[in-house]
Structure 1
Amino acid sequence: MALQPSSIRYCFQGFLDGLDSLHYFIDHVVYQTRLSGPSFRCEPQTDGTLRLHYYSKRNGLYPIVIGSYIKKAYPWCKRHETNLTDILELIHPEVPLTFESIMVFKNSQFVCKLKDIDGQESNVKAVMVKGSMTIVDNGQFMVYLCSLYVTTVRELIDRNLHLSDIQGHDGTRDLIMLNQSRLSQVELNRRLEETTKNLKRMASELETEKHKTDELLSQLMPISVAEALRQGTSVEACNTAIKAIAMLKSKSALVFTGEFAEATLLFTDIVTFTNICAQCTPYDVVTLLNDLYLRFDRLVGLHDVYKVETIGDAYMIVGGVPNKCANHAERVLNVSIGTIMESKSVMSPITNRHIQIRAGVHTGAVVAGVVGVKMPRYCLFGDAVNTANRMESCGIPGRIHVSDPTKKAALQMNPSFVFADRGNVEIKGKGTMHTYFLERNDRKSVWEICNRQRGEGSCDPLLLSIERFVMAQISFGVNASCTDVRNSKQMLLVVNSLTNGPNDNVIIVSFRCLRYGTLKKSHTENWIEKK
C-alpha cells in the first residue's frame, strides 16, 4: 500500500501514530476479517529523535518494515534545517524577516505570503496570512499567531480555499461574508445603473423615433389631424352626429375630419412628361421631380397652404383646408404664380431648357378625410376636386387656368389680381364653363411671391416676359417661329411670319442680356407671335 505521510498527518510522527487506526479500519471495516494488524508507537527521545516500537504476530516482517519506514522518513529528515524564510515571505512591514526586525515591529501586524514548497499549480495564487508575533520562553522563541488574509469569496477561490478551512471563531469568516454582501450590493447597483442608462438610451431613441413618426405623420396629413390621430380623440364626421375614434390602429377604413363649404384647389402637371420619361433614365426623372417639388414645397410653406399629394408629375395643393381661412383663393393663386416662376429654374434633361407646366385652379366645397389603415392618406372628396383637375388638363402650358368661382373669391379679398378672359371652354364632364387666365398680382411681384431676390435663380425675367407674351397667342391659332442666338452679351430674336400674305416680313429685334450662365449659347425655341 503506497501511502504518503501528508495524507494522514502533517508530520512524520503523526503519520506513524495514525497507522494503528488505519490498520484497524482496513481489517475490521473494509475486509471485515479477523486479521490482527501490526501496531506502531513512537517514543520521542531527548535528542530530538524518534524510537519506533513495532508489534506484530508475523515473524520476519520487521526488516521489511524498517526499510520501508526509513524510505518514507528520508524526505522528512532532510527538512530539519529548514529556515523560516524558506516558508514565509514578509509582505508587511517591509523589513527583513529576522529576529531583530521582528522585535522592532513586534506591536505591528505582520502580513506574510506562504511560499510554494510542494509545487502548487501555477494558476493557484499564494496563500496570505496576517497576525502578530508573540514572544515566548523569555524571548527565546516567537509564535506567529495568524489567520488567513482574505476578504472576499473570490480570493478564497483563487487560492483553492474554502470557508471550512477557516476556524469557526475566526472573525475572517464574518469579514468575508460582509464583504461578499457589500460586493453583491455593489454589483446589483452597477447592474441597476447600467439598466437605468440603457432605459434612458432606449427612451431617448424611442423619443427620436416618435419624433420621426410624428414628422412623417405630419407630412402625410395636416398637423391638427395627425395630432387627433395620435391622441385618439374623437372627430366629427361632416355635419352628422357620427363620431369616429381617429386612431391609426383602429379598424375604420375612413375617418372624416370635416366638410368645408369653400376651399381653393390647385393642380399642376409637367408638359410632355410622358416624352421625358420615355427618353430619360429613371434617375433623371426622379432628379427632375425632386428639384421641382422641393421648390413647390417651399412655396407651400411660404403661403400657408396644404400640400395634398403628388402622383407622378401631378402636384395638388389646397387652401382653406384643414384650417379655414377667408383668403384661401388669394393664397392659392399666389402659389400658382410662384409655381410657374419656379418651373423656369428646372431644366429638362432632354432639351436642356426649362420645363413647362400647366396649372388649374378652382374653388368649391370639399370633404376631407383620412383614408386607409396601414398607409393612411389625407384626401379631399367632392366635385370641386374633379373640376380643378379638369381646369388643369384643359389649360395651356405656362398659363394659370382659373374658374369663375375662383376669380370671384380672389377679387373679393384682393382686387389687385389681373385676369385675362379666355371665354367659354368645353370642359370634359362639366360642359361649357367660362374661364380665365391669371396674369399677375399687382400688389406683389413674382419675386415677392417666391421670396427671392430679383434675378435670383437660373431663369431670366426678359425671357419670361417674351415667352409669356408669345405663349399667350397660342389660343388665337397664330403660326410663327422664333430662333434666338445667344452669347455672353446679346440675344438675337428673329420672328419669321409663316403666313402667305403679301405683307410677309421678318422682324429682327436685338436685346441686351443680363445673364445666361445656365443657358446654352445657341439653341432653337418654338415661340408663337402674332404679327
Structure 2
Amino acid sequence: MFGFIHESIHQMMVRRYGEEFWLNVLTRSGFESGKENIVNHYYPDSDTYALVDSVGALAKIPREQVWEMYGAFLIEYTMEIGWDELLRAMSPNLKGFLDNLDSLHYFIDHVVYKANLRGPSFRCEEGPEGSIVLHYFTSRPGLYPIVKGVVREVAKRVFDLDINMTITGRTQRSVQMSSGERVEEHVIFNIKAVAPPQAGAKSSIIPPPVSPTDLDTGTLRITQQDFCSAFPYHIIVDRDCKVVQVGKDLCNHINRELLEPGTPLLRIFEINRPQIPLDFENICNFINAVFVLQVRNAPMDVKKNHRGSDASEIFDDSNLASGQHLKLKGQMMVLDDKEHLIYLCSPYVTSIPELLQFGMRISAMPLHDSTRDLILLNQQRLSDVEVNLQLEANNEQLEQLARDLESEKSKTDELLKEMLPQTVASQLINGTSVDACEFEEATVMFTDVPSFQFIVPHCKPKDVVHLLNHLFTKFDRLVTLHNVYKVETVGDSYMTVGGVPENNEQHCENICHVALGMIWEARTVIDPVSGEPLIVRAGIHSGPIVAGVVGAKMPRYCLFGDTVNTASRMESHSPTGRIHCSESAVASANRTGRFEFVCRGHVPIKGKGDMLTYFLVRSFKKSVWEIIDQKRDENVNSIDGYAELAENLEFDLEKKTGPVSKTCTIS
C-alpha cells in the first residue's frame, strides 16, 4: 500500500497512544523507525497488514476495529493537511460524494502521486425510505471496516449527518484478468440517516427529486457526424460490448478495419483500470470508476494499413510514435435504452513527452477537453515531484551521513578517552579548557624489560612490535582492573600513575598491586631470543606531581616534577624481576594496604645520592590470582601465588646486590 496510509496510521497511533506505543508497534512488525512512513513509497500489502496486526495486538482490540478506527481518522487527517475544501466541494449530498469517490481515488493515485494503486470502487443506489444502498468492490478482501469509518466521518464532518451503516451482503468471487486470477470482494452497505433532515437543512443523504417543471420535453437532435466531431474519441458499444459508433480521431491511432461496427471491444482494447473483465455487467458495476483502456495494436501497424497520400499526412516520421500503445481515459455511461454504453474519453497523456510519443500535438485535443490544461499543469507538477523526490533522496543521504558522522565522532571520543583520562577527555570534547593541576601526593611507576636491548638486534621488526604489543596488552588489562592511569609507553618502558587525575587515597596500594601483577603477567610472554619467560623490573615512588594537557594536534596528559624523575631512577637501579620502591612509596602503601617489603639498604641513586630503598615482595590483602583476576589451578599453584612469583629471584638478588637483610623486612 501507499506510504501515505502508513503515515496516517502512524499519526493516529501517536495521538491516541503516544510515541512509545508506536515504537513498540514498529519493533513488533519488524520495521526500522523512520523507514515505515515514507509518503511517496509503495509498501507491500503484507507490511501494512503487519502494522495493523501489531496495533491490534498491543492495543488489545480486533483488527476490524482498528481498520474502522483508521477509516474515521483518515478523513480527519486528510482534512487537516489541506484536503478540507476539496472534500466539502465534491457534492451537496452524501450519495453524490460516494458516487465521485472513484474519480477522487483516480486523481490521487494517477495525478497527484503517480502510484498506480489498486483502489476500490463504489456505486450507489437509492434505497427505500430515503436510504442509500452502497456497493463496495475491492481486490483486497477484509478492508470493508475502513469504509464504515470513512462514510460515518464524512457524513458527520462534511454533511453534519448522523447515520447508521449495516452490512446487508458480502460475497467474494474469483476474477480472471490478463495478469492472472485474483479475488474480488463485493460488500453491500445500507446507509440510513438516524433522524430525517429538517426543513432548510443544508445537507441530505440523497439529492432531492427533480421537479417535472425542470424537465424540458422538447427534442434537440444532433447529427451523427456532428457528434463524432464534438467527441472525437468516444466509443458506443452494445450489450455484447461490440462497437456501434466511434469518434472521428480514433482512426488516427487504430486500424480502420477494427473500428467497423460489430468489432468486439476486447479485440481493440485491453482494460488497465479498473481491473475488471471488460463486459457489460462489470462495467455497470464500476460505472463510477475512471476507465483507462489501452489500444492492443501498435501505431506502426496502423501505418502499414494506411496507404496513400492521406496516410503520409497523418503519420509523418517526426510524429510517429515509436511502438507505443495509445491509452484512453474517460467515463462509461449507460444510455437511456439500457442496452448501450458510451465511453466518453480522451487520450491518456499527462505530459508533453507522452504527447509527443503518440505523434500528437495539443491541438489534437478539443478545446473543451481539460486534458489540454492537465498536460501543461502536470508538466510543472512533474518538475515539483522530481525536485521533492530528489530532496527526499538527499535528506536520506544526509541522514545516513549524519549517522556515519556520529558513529565516527563516537569512535574519536572513545579514542580520546583512551589517550587521556576520561574526565580530561570529557572536558576537551565539551570544548572547555583543561587547567594544569598540582597533586600533593601521587604514585608513579615505571616498568621496563632489561633484556630488550639484546632482543632488538636479533629479531625482525615485526617480531619486536608483536612482543611489545603482547606484553603491553596484558599490562593495559591490569591498569584497568586496579583503577590507575596509563601515562605513556616509550620503547619498552611503561609508565603508570595512581591518584591522578582523580585523587585517590589508595593510589600507592593500587600501583603496588599492578606492579605485582606485571611481574607475573610478563612471565607468560616468551623471550624470542632465549626462549625463556620474559622478566621485567619496576620502580615506584610517591610524592607531589604537576599534571596537565600538552599539545593541540595530538594532546597528551603529561606529568611533571621530581617524583617522576625519582620513580624513573627507582626503575633504572632495580635488579631484574624486582619491584624497587622508595621510602616514601613504602610509607604511602602501608597507610591503606598491607604489604611485605624487603629493605635493600642505602643505594647510590644517580642524581639523588644515597637513598634507603626497598623491594616489594607480596600483598597481604590480595593473592596473585586476585590481582591478575584469574582462577588458580588447585593442582599446581599455591594458595596465594607468591611462592611461584619469588622463584629464582633470591639467587639473582644475592648475586647482584649481596645478601638480603632479613631484619629489615617491613610488613
TM-score, normalization: structure 2? 0.50
Q: Tell me which amino acid in the other structure corresponds to 2:609.
A: G
Cα distance, 1:83–1:350 mapped onto 2, change above 3 Å: closer
Residue in 1 that maps onto 2:651: 470
Out of 400, 415, 419, the residue aligned to residue 201 of structure 1 is 400
Name the SS of the counterpart of 1:347 in structure 2.
Answer: coil
Task: Compute the displacement of 1:477 (Å).
Answer: 4.5
Cα distance, 1:361–1:465 mapped onto 2, change above 3 Å: closer
Task: Compute the displacement of 1:468 (Å).
Answer: 2.8
Name the SS of the counterpart of 2:303 in structure 1.
Answer: coil
Q: Tell me which amino acid in the other structure corresponds to 2:350.
A: T
Matches within 5 A, 1:372-411: 372-411=551-590
In the alignment, does 2:506 pair up with 1:327?
yes
Q: Deviations over 1:170-221 (max 9, x none)?
A: 1223444565565555444433332332222112111111111111111111
Q: Deviations over 1:38-57 (max 9, x none)?
A: xxxxxxxxxxxxxxxxxxxx
Residue in 1 that maps onto 2:605: 427
Quote the Cα distance in structure 1 between the aligned partners of 2:329 and 2:492.
Answer: 88
Matches within 5 A, 1:74-93: 84=259, 89-92=268-271
Cα distance, 1:181–1:469 mapped onto 2, change above 3 Å: same
Q: Deviations over 1:409-441 (max 9, x none)?
A: 111222x21111111111111111111111111
Name the SS of the counterpart of 1:307 in structure 2.
Answer: strand
Residue in 2 that maps onto 1:340: 519
Quote the Cα distance in structure 2 between the aligned partners of 1:159 and 1:389.
Answer: 90
Out of 545, 548, 563, the residue aligned to residue 369 of structure 1 is 548
Residue in 2 that maps onto 1:19: none
Cα distance, 1:151–1:361 mapped onto 2, change above 3 Å: same
Residue in 2 that maps onto 1:151: 350
Out of 205, 215, 219, the residue aligned to residue 414 of structure 2 is 215
Q: Deviations over 1:324-354 (max 9, x none)?
A: 1111111111111111111111111112111
Q: Tell me which amino acid in the other structure corresponds to 2:649.
A: R
Task: Compute the displacement of 1:282 (Å).
Answer: 1.3
Matches within 5 A, 1:54-453: 84=259, 89-92=268-271, 111=293, 113=295, 116=299, 117-118=302-303, 123-130=322-329, 146-177=345-376, 179-180=378-379, 183-184=382-383, 186-236=385-435, 257-414=436-593, 416-453=594-631
Aligned length: 369
Quote the Cα distance in structure 2 between the aligned partners of 1:221 and 1:123.
Answer: 70
Task: Compute the displacement of 1:153 (Å).
Answer: 4.2
More strand by share: 1
Q: Which moved more, 1:179-188 or 1:149-158?
A: 179-188
Quote the Cα distance in structure 2 between the aligned partners of 1:107 and 1:382.
Answer: 92
Contact 1:110-1:133 within 8 A present in 2 as well:
no
Task: Compute the displacement of 1:366 (Å).
Answer: 1.3
Q: Tell me which amino acid in the other structure corresponds to 1:167.
A: P
More helix by share: 2
Name the SS of the counterpart of 1:472 in structure 2.
Answer: helix
Contact 1:308-1:316 within 8 A present in 2 as well:
yes
Q: Deviations over 1:446-496 (max 9, x none)?
A: 11111111249x999665443133233233458xxxxxxxxxxxxxxxxxx
Cα distance, 1:161–1:312 mapped onto 2, change above 3 Å: farther
Cα distance, 1:262–1:89 mapped onto 2, change above 3 Å: same
Quote the Cα distance in structure 1 between the aligned partners of 2:333 and 2:559.
Answer: 100
Q: Deviations over 1:390-422 (max 9, x none)?
A: 1100000000000011111111222x2111111
Name the SS of the counterpart of 1:326 in structure 2.
Answer: coil
Quote the Cα distance in structure 1 between the aligned partners of 2:414 and 2:324.
Answer: 61
Name the SS of the counterpart of 1:285 in structure 2.
Answer: helix
Cα distance, 1:161–1:275 mapped onto 2, change above 3 Å: farther
Contact 2:536-2:577 within 8 A present in 1 as well:
yes
Quote the Cα distance in structure 1 between the aligned partners of 2:342 and 2:653.
Answer: 120
Quote the Cα distance in structure 1 between the aligned partners of 2:287 and 2:537.
Answer: 106
Q: Deviations over 1:7-51 (max 9, x none)?
A: xxxxxxxxxxxxxxxxxxxxxxxxxxxxxxxxxxxxxxxxxxxxx
Quote the Cα distance in structure 2 between the aligned partners of 1:160 and 1:354.
Answer: 89
Task: Compute the displacement of 1:230 (Å).
Answer: 1.5
Q: Tell me which amino acid in the other structure corresponds to 2:303.
A: D
Contact 2:258-2:268 within 8 A present in 1 as well:
no
Task: Compute the displacement of 1:298 (Å).
Answer: 0.7
Q: Deviations over 1:70-128 (max 9, x none)?
A: xxxxxxxxxxx9662599923459779xxxxx9xx999979463753225657351333
Which one has a bigger Cα radius of gyration? 1
Quote the Cα distance in structure 2 between the aligned partners of 1:387 and 1:284.
Answer: 32
Contact 2:483-2:510 within 8 A present in 1 as well:
yes
TM-score, normalization: structure 1? 0.62
Q: Tell me which amino acid in the other structure corresponds to 1:200.
A: E
Matches within 5 A, 1:477-496: 477=658
Cα distance, 1:107–1:212 mapped onto 2, change above 3 Å: closer
Task: Compute the displacement of 1:229 (Å).
Answer: 1.2
Name the Cα RMSD after superposition: 3.8
Contact 2:424-2:434 within 8 A present in 1 as well:
no
Name the SS of the counterpart of 1:290 in structure 2.
Answer: helix
Cα distance, 1:464–1:130 mapped onto 2, change above 3 Å: closer
Q: Tell me which amino acid in the other structure corresponds to 1:279.
A: H
Q: Deviations over 1:371-405 (max 9, x none)?
A: 11211111111111111111100000000000011
Contact 1:346-1:354 within 8 A present in 2 as well:
yes
Matches within 5 A, 1:498-509: none
Q: Tell me which amino acid in the other structure corresponds to 1:349.
A: P
Q: Tell me which amino acid in the other structure corresponds to 1:118.
A: K
Contact 2:321-2:358 within 8 A present in 1 as well:
no
Where does structure 2 lack aligned partners over 5 or more consecutive residues?
Answer: 1-255, 305-314, 660-667
Name the SS of the counterpart of 1:353 in structure 2.
Answer: coil
Quote the Cα distance in structure 1 between the aligned partners of 2:647 and 2:373.
Answer: 100
Cα distance, 1:146–1:210 mapped onto 2, change above 3 Å: closer
Contact 1:89-1:115 within 8 A present in 2 as well:
no
Contact 1:271-1:355 within 8 A present in 2 as well:
no
Task: Compute the displacement of 1:291 (Å).
Answer: 1.1
Q: Tell me which amino acid in the other structure corresponds to 2:421.
A: P
Name the SS of the counterpart of 1:212 in structure 2.
Answer: helix
Quote the Cα distance in structure 2 between the aligned partners of 1:392 and 1:160.
Answer: 93
Cα distance, 1:169–1:467 mapped onto 2, change above 3 Å: same
Task: Compute the displacement of 1:169 (Å).
Answer: 1.9
Where does structure 1 lack aligned partners over 5 or more consecutive residues?
Answer: 1-80, 97-101, 237-256, 479-531
Quote the Cα distance in structure 2 between the aligned partners of 1:132 and 1:444.
Answer: 92
